[in-house]
A and B are shown apart, each in its own frame.
Chain A
Amino acid sequence: MSALTSTLQRLYGFWWIVLPPIVGSAVMAMIIGSIVVAPREIIEGDVQRLLYIHFPSILAAYGAFGVVFLASLVVLWKRDLRWDAVARGAATVGVLFTGLTLATGALWGKPIWGVYWTWDARLTSTLVLFLIYAAYLLARSMADELDEQAARFAAVFAVLGALDIPLVMFSVTWWRTLHPQPIVMRGLERPALPPEMLLVLMIAFLGIGALALWLGILRTEAEWLAKRTATLRAKIDRHEGA
């Protein structure tokens, strides 16, 4: 075993001790911060507080889908089913947080836009993102844990999905757009949020990011354990048959 692998494994074991308290305290801080500390938005009112979940969730989802893409490339390249477990774990987290983004967006949209849903460019592309990776999870779950061919198919689909995202965004932007313009990431300009709100948002980034990482790791481990159980069961069956 190389030094790098053992370092990574030690670091990974360390995460089990470090991540849960970070996740717990950051998420608590996020909830308290967004309800108590952050000031009430003058025009939108309390419903604006959903932003503290909405925006970090979509970033966490993008991060997770990035991991799905990379892990799927490794599955195709190395044929290592461990990366299939990583891709599935990350896809689950990505779908979860995309769903959370869509749900909080709909709750915000009703009082502000007057409708839960509209076929706006960003809403549409986020929904398509959700559907692509939900289809990925569905396709992967319909085949055997240890089916390497199915893992390859799922990986090819994940690569297709990731490469489809720019095209989806481009096409729906041409189609229509209604979503509020970015207020935090405006390049070199200063963010348009007041400092208290920005602070709470930063805590929310940490909380949601850590939560996504934690859930992703748990899900990946569960997938990997399921694969190992299936391998062992197959071995026992062979042994009994012989």
Chain B
Amino acid sequence: MSDTVGPAMAVVMKDLRLAWRDRAGWASAGAFATIAVLVYSFAFDLATGDIRPLLPGVLWTTFLFAGIFAGGQSFARESEEGTFDALLLSPVSPTMVYLGKAAANIIAMLVIEFLQLGLATILFDTNLVSLELLVIVFLGTVGSVSLTTLLSTMSASMRGRAMLLPVMALPLLVPLLIGAVRATGAALNVEVGAAPWTLLLAVAALWSAALSVLLFPIAVER
């Protein structure tokens, strides 16, 4: 068991250690998310009296953009330093490399998101720290970050990748966004209809995680 999971854990630990040593990348993603939540709160407060129904949309657009921003950065460094080629040359299956990278990105992203939930709890005067919401955030993060990790590997070698990544990722994430926003709305007692949104979110998350795991080895094959 440890033989198969070991390499993935090594990649996770490597990425998390790097993220910790060079905090600028993830800190800027966190700062971006914070600024986004603040600006949304401020701008919507100018436009409308009741901003609480907008909260699920605010949170998820922020999470998606911050995730794409951070995911793109994490691979840009790998391709600059050439460590990604080294990882692929090592006698480890590409699936394990992918799982390691995705897990590290998910963990870092979850930290940022929980901080934002705390901030939004204060700004929007709504309790956002509940078990239901944590499950929803976890599912949405697994789904979106697993896909952006795959796409950022692919776009890392292309010109203009910073712009390309959101253009590629966001249309694919529309089902996940619908599920996540509606499920969050349901958890906050915003009117969203009766469909099982958390189920839709789970299916979308499973879809992107499973396809990314399957397609990563095919994408990086030389």
Instruction: List the interface of chain A (C-beta within 8 A of B).
Output: 76, 124, 128, 131-132, 134-135, 138-139, 142-143, 149-150, 152-153, 156-157, 159-161, 163-164, 167-168, 170-172, 174-175
Q: How many contacts A-B (CB < 8 Å)? A: 84
Q: Is B47's CB within 8 Å of the partner chain A? A: no
Q: Mark B186-206, 1 if CB is under 8 A from A, else 0.
A: 000000010100001001100
Q: Is B211's CB under 8 angstroms from A135's CB?
A: no
Q: Is A142's CB under 8 angstroms from B164's CB?
A: yes
Instruction: List the interface of chain B (C-beta within 8 A of A).
Output: 147, 150-151, 154-155, 157-160, 164, 167-168, 170-172, 174-175, 178-179, 182, 193, 195, 200, 203-204, 207, 211, 215, 218-219, 221-222
Bound-state Cα–Cα, A105 to B159, Å? 35
A156-B215, A164-B175, A172-B178 known; A138+B200 contact, CB < 8 A: no
Q: Which of A135, A153, A157, A171 contacts B174 (CB 8 A)?
A: A171
- Residues of chain B within 8 A of A174, CB atoms compared: 178, 193, 195, 200
Interface centre among A124, A138, A139 (most CB of B within 10 A): A139
Bound-state Cα–Cα, A76 to B178, Å? 31
- Could you tell me the distance in whole angstroms from the C-beta of B88 to the nearest C-beta in chain A? 12
- Residues of chain B within 8 A of A138, CB atoms compared: 164, 167
- Could you tell me the distance in whole angstroms from the C-beta of A81 to the nearest C-beta in chain B? 15
- Residues of chain A within 8 A of B159, CB atoms compared: 142-143
Interface centre among B147, B175, B215, B218 (most CB of A within 10 A): B175
- Could you tell me the distance in whole angstroms from the C-beta of B157 to the nearest C-beta in chain A? 7
